[in-house]
Each structure stands twice: as structure tokens, then as C-alpha cells.
């Protein structure tokens, strides 16, 4: 007996030897699985691959991620049984299959039922089954009514062209396999890169505290700045000289240009809300200590903030948008520049893409006044008297 079955419990009354039990349903059985990806099985016969792609895959996609798996305990290794998946999930679960065992010649089980009559081509599958069975037992299955399309009655040219069509189909399937491997490799590389950059450059947009300071340190070093963690340096010096009394903290980073005497103090903050003007008081202390030891103000003092870090970067407002007077005082007293870490991320990416040289990027930062912006450089503070901040 040969059966083509659309939906329902797979036709079978047979248990593999040693597992027959009145309580157990004979194989194959059905199970519900959740899966997103669909693949034409490697075992799917070549004449059916186009039909699977054209009819079964669209049907499965229309149903969402909940699938019906047709499961078989005897697998595909038995010499007396066959189980040939036609359509599978990404982890190899069969959603359509052809199977046989000693008590049944062949069953085509397909995950369609009468409710799919408007979207599923039942006739095409019935024709495909009859054509396949004609090749197995031509006396019982006389084949398609158009005998002129049977190989036995084709001309030499038609047979050659049929071989060419089959070869082209094989080549197409091979190309699909190769492209699928390339896509999978690229997706794996992308996933690895995303995780890596989540812990490196993207910390500029997500981090705070020491993690954020480390990301800013690494970014400025990539641009070619000499970057110094002042507190770590002083702790090392104290340890070397035997001093155990801790000293008050200074700025997070001290940045200098390798090609000049230019130097900047950098304070780095990460907030779930906006930047805090109270930080300017702490920074002023750092600037005063620097001026005391060096007899002059630093060339710049950067207030670097990753603000609204729980919000997507493109939805975040400008840093300190309504604190113009406080920013003015910071600029006047400390050569201050407020820096949003979004701009540091953008600058870092421009250099990585070779759209800017490291030297050009350093110049942009060193020449910044009041606010640093990659896309919209800000004019000096005095020019803003008649133009309020946006």
C-alpha cells in the first residue's frame, strides 16, 4: 500500500522490534515544536525540492513559529525501514517526510489539511506522488496522462535538454547550500563581533564608572593621545615609596598630545539621567590643583558624559541643554568642554573607517570649544549670546 496523507496522525500500525506496547502509539508520531527557520532537508528527493519550496515553506511561514514535527523512533539507519525528511527545522526536526516499513510500502506525510485548500496545492503533490510511484511500479501506476512527456517517448534532443535542466537544478541547489554556509559563517562572525564590541567601543554608550573610564581611555589611546590614569599612577608611586595614607582622588584621566605640549584633564561620568552641573565643582578642584603644581590652567578640561544610558542613543537629548550659564562658567574658569560619549563613539568609528586620520581626529578634539560635536561643531561661547542652545 502507498499513501499520500495530508495532516492527521501518520498512517501506521507497526512498532520496531522490541518496542511494541499496547499503550504506545506506533511510529511515526506527531509532536509540537517551536522553530523559526525552515530548511529543505538534504534527504529530500531532487524532483520534490521545488515543490517543497513553492508550497510547504510558504504554508509553514504563514502559521508562525509553532510547528508539527513528524517523529520516528527507527530513524533512517534501519535496513528494513526508511524515514526521509522533506522539510526540517534548523535543528533537524522533520516537518514533512516520506517513510516506509515492512507493513507499508510508502507514506508521504505532509503538514496540510482541508483548511489549507485555498493556499496549498494538493493536486501538485498528488501528481508528484503518482509520478514517483509510476517510476517504482509502472503497471499499477500508469503515469501521467501525457505520455509524450515520459522519457521512454522523448527524442534525443529532449532527453539532452532534460539532463541540462536537472543539472541546472542540481547546480542551483549546490549554490544555495554554499550561500547558506556563507550566510551562516557571516552571521556567526557578526554575532561574535557584536559581543566583542559590546564590551569595547559600545561601552561608550552603555557603561558607567570604571568600565566607562576604561572605554574612554582606550578610545583616546586609539586616536594616538598619550592617556594617563592619574590616580593609578599616584597609587603606584605611593606603594613604591611606602606611603599607605590614601590621597584625595583627582581627575579620571590626563590626556596629552604626542606632537605638542597640549594637555587636558578629563572627568568621565555615566548617568541614567542627564549630566550634572554639580560635577563642575569637583572638576574645578582638579583644575586648581593642576594650576597650583604647574602654574597655569590645562589647555582643556573635558567633562565626558554617557547620559541617559538606558535610552537608545538616537533618542537622547543634548548634554546639559538648559544649563547654558553653568557651561559658560565652566568654559571660562577651566577651559571647559562638555563631551557627549555619542560623539566619541562617532569619532572613533570615522577613524576606524578611514574617513578621518588619527591626527585629524585629535585636532578636532583639541580645537573643540565649549561643546565637542562630530557633526555640528559649536562656535565659541561669546558667539552664543544671541543664539540660545537648542
Give the range among 34-38, 169-173, 180-184, 297-301 with minimum mean pLDDT: 34-38
* Judgement on whether residues 215 and 141 belong to the same structural domain of the protein: no
Domain boundary among 133, 167, 197: 197
pLDDT tens by residue, 336-385: 999 999 999 999 999 999 999 999 999 999 999 999 999 754 444 433 43
Residue at grid coordinates 493536486: 123
Q: Can you give the pLDDT at residue 37? A: 85
pLDDT for residue 189 is more than 60: yes
Residue 209 falls within a domain, yes or no?
Answer: yes
Q: Which of 364, 361, 339 is nearest to 352 (CA)?
A: 361
Indicate yes or no: pTM above 0.85: no
Cβ-based neighbours of 209, under 8 Å, separated by 6 or more: 270
Q: Can you give the pLDDT at residue 380? A: 40
pLDDT for residue 162 is more than 50: yes
Mean pLDDT of 285-312: 95
Please provide the DSSP assignment of 217-281 as one string. HHHHHHTT-EEE-HHHHHHHHHHHHT--SPPPP--SEEEE-TTSS-EEEEEEEE-SS---TTHHH
pLDDT tens by residue, 195-217: 999 999 999 999 999 999 999 99
Domain boundary among 117, 132, 149: 149
* Judgement on whether residues 259 and 366 belong to the same structural domain of the protein: yes
Q: Which of 156, 130, 155, 158 is nearest to 144 (CA)?
A: 130
Distance CA 327, CA 305 (A): 14
Residue 389 falls within a domain, yes or no?
Answer: no
* Judgement on whether residues 352 and 367 belong to the same structural domain of the protein: yes
- The CB density around residue 85, as the number of other CB atoms within 10 Å, is 24
* Judgement on whether residues 210 and 351 belong to the same structural domain of the protein: yes
Cβ-based neighbours of 264, under 8 Å, separated by 6 or more: 254, 255, 256, 298, 299, 300, 301, 302, 366
Q: Cα–chain-centroid distance for residue 253?
A: 34
* Judgement on whether residues 85 and 158 belong to the same structural domain of the protein: no
Residue 216 falls within a domain, yes or no?
Answer: yes
Please provide the DSSP assignment of 59-88 as one string. HHHHT-SEEEEEE-TTTTT-SS-EEEEEEE
Give the range among 49-58, 75-84, 123-132, 342-351 with minimum mean pLDDT: 75-84
Helix (H, G, I), strand (E, B) or coil at 55: helix
Distance CA 28, CA 81 (A): 11
* Judgement on whether residues 190 and 216 belong to the same structural domain of the protein: no
* Judgement on whether residues 158 and 238 belong to the same structural domain of the protein: no
pLDDT band at 91 (very low <50, low <70, confident <90, very high): confident
* Judgement on whether residues 73 and 119 belong to the same structural domain of the protein: yes
Peptide bond into 28 cis (omega under 30): yes
Give the range among 3-7, 247-251, 314-318 with minimum mean pLDDT: 247-251
Q: Determine which helix (DSSP H) or strand (DSSP E) holds 302, and give its type and residue range.
A: strand 300-306
Output the CA torsion 32→33→34→37 (10° steps): -120
Report whether 87 contacts 57 (CB < 8 A).
Answer: yes
Cβ-based neighbours of 217, under 8 Å, separated by 6 or more: 227, 229, 253
Q: What domain range is 296 assigned to?
A: 203-384
* Judgement on whether residues 282 and 241 belong to the same structural domain of the protein: yes
Domain boundary among 129, 164, 197: 197
Residue 256 falls within a domain, yes or no?
Answer: yes
- Write the CA distances from 1 to 81, 107, 194, integer angstroms: 15, 8, 54
Output the CA torsion 215→216→219→224 (10° steps): -140
pLDDT for residue 109 is more than 50: yes
Residue 113 falls within a domain, yes or no?
Answer: yes
The CATH number that applies at residue 229 is: 3.40.91.30
Residue 287 falls within a domain, yes or no?
Answer: yes
Q: Give the CB-side neighbour count of residue 179, counting CA atoms within 13 A.
A: 6
Distance CA 88, CA 276 (A): 56
- Write the CA distances from 352 to 207, 280, 365, integer angstroms: 21, 32, 16
pLDDT for residue 218 is more than 60: yes
Residue 228 falls within a domain, yes or no?
Answer: yes
* Judgement on whether residues 139 and 166 belong to the same structural domain of the protein: no
Residue 390 falls within a domain, yes or no?
Answer: no
Q: Can you give the pLDDT at residue 390? A: 30
* Judgement on whether residues 13 and 124 belong to the same structural domain of the protein: yes
Distance CA 285, CA 19 (A): 82
- Partner residues linked to 217 by β-bridges: none
Instruction: Output the CA torsion sign for 168, 172, 173, 175.
Output: positive
Q: Can you give the pLDDT at residue 388? A: 36
* Judgement on whether residues 144 and 254 belong to the same structural domain of the protein: no
pLDDT for residue 266 is more than 80: yes
Give the range among 12-21, 181-190, 320-329 with minimum mean pLDDT: 12-21
How many structural domains are present in the chain?
3
Amino acid at each position: 500500500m502507498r499513501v499520500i496523507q495530508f495532516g492527521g496522525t501518520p498512517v501506521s500500525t507497526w512498532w520496531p522490534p522490541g518496542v511494541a506496547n499496547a499503550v504506545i502509539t506506533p511510529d511515526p508520531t506527531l509532536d509540537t515544536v517551536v522553530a523559526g527557520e525552515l530548511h529543505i532537508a538534504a534527504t529530500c528527493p531532487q524532483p520534490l525540492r521545488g515543490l517543497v519550496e513553492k508550497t510547504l515553506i510558504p504554508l509553514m511561514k504563514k502559521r508562525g513559529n509553532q510547528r508539527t514535527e513528524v517523529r520516528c523512533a527507527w530513524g533512517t539507519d534501519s535496513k528494513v525501514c526508511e524515514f526521509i525528511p522533506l522539510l526540517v527545522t534548523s535543528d533537524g526536526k522533520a516537518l514533512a517526510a516520506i517513510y516506509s516499513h515492512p507493513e507499508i510500502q510508502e507514506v508521504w506525510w505532509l503538514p496540510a489539511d482541508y483548511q489549507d485548500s485555498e493556499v496549498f496545492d494538493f493536486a501538485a503533490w498528488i501528481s508528484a506522488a503518482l509520478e514517483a510511484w509510476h517510476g517504482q511500479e509502472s503497471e499499477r501506476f500508469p503515469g501521467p496522462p501525457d505520455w509524450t512527456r515520459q522519457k521512454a517517448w522523448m527524442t534525443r534532443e529532449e532527453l539532452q535538454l532534460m539532463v541540462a535542466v536537472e543539472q541546472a537544478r542540481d547546480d542551483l541547489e549546490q549554490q544555495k547550500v554554499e550561500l547558506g554556509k556563507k550566510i551562516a559563517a557571516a552571521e556567526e562572525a557578526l554575532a561574535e563581533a557584536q559581543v566583542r564590541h559590546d564590551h569595547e567601543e559600545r561601552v561608550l554608550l552603555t557603561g558607567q564608572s570604571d568600565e566607562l573610564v576604561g572605554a574612554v581611555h582606550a578610545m583616546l589611546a586609539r586616536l594616538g593621545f598619550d592617556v594617563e590614569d592619574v590616580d593609578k599612577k599616584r597609587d603606584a608611586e605611593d606603594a613604591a615609596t611606602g606611603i599607605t595614607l590614601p590621597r584625595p582622588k583627582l581627575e579620571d584621566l590626563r590626556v596629552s598630545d604626542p606632537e605638542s605640549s597640549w594637555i587636558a584633564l578629563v572627568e568621565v561620568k555615566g548617568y541614567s539621567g542627564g549630566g550634572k552641573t554639580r560635577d563642575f565643582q569637583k572638576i574645578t578642584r582638579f583644575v586648581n590643583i593642576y594650576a597650583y603644581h604647574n602654574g597655569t590652567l590645562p589647555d582643556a578640561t573635558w567633562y565626558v558624559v554617557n547620559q541617559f544610558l538606558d535610552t537608545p542613543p538616537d533618542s537622547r537629548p543634548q548634554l546639559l541643554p538648559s544649563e547654558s550659564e553653568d557651561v559658560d562658567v565652566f568654559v571660562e574658569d577651566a577651559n571647559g568642554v562638555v563631551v557627549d560619549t555619542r560623539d566619541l563613539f562617532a569619532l572613533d568609528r570615522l577613524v576606524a573607517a578611514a574617513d578621518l586620520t588619527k591626527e585629524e581626529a585629535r585636532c578636532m578634539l583639541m580645537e573643540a570649544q565649549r561643546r565637542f560635536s562630530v557633526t555640528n561643531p559649536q562656535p565659541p561661547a561669546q558667539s552664543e549670546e544671541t543664539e540660545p542652545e537648542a
